[in-house]
Amino acid sequence: MLVLTRRIGEVIRVHRQIEVTVLEVRHGVVRLGWRAPSHVEIVRAELCRGSMRPASRAARRRGRSTRPPDDLGPRSQGQWR
């Protein structure tokens, strides 16, 4: 796990396509802003646990996986397994 220290307004860039900005830190809660291409799904981890949501089941029926890629290389750009 990579651990970074950032201040409000500072940005972390992931594989040239995803930016994470620290928006606010208040009472032990950190607000992050995510900027990514529309084909990249960003979901809170607690929503991925347990049973799949109805939207995820519908995405699988359409042939799109909702599982995040193993890496952020070219293979994962909208073509998840």
Residue 79: which pLDDT band, with cuts at 50, 70 and 90?
very low
Domain range annotation of the chain: 11-64
Residue predicted with more confidence, 68 or 58: 58
Q: Which secondary-structure segment (H or E) carries 80?
A: none
The rounded distance, in Å, linking the Cα atoms of 44 and 24 is: 18
Q: Mind giving me the DSSP string for 12-35? A: EEETTTEEEEEEEEETTEEEEEEE
**Can you give the pTM of this predicted structure?**
0.56
pLDDT per residue as tens digits for the range 5-45: 999 999 999 988 999 999 999 999 999 999 999 999 999 88
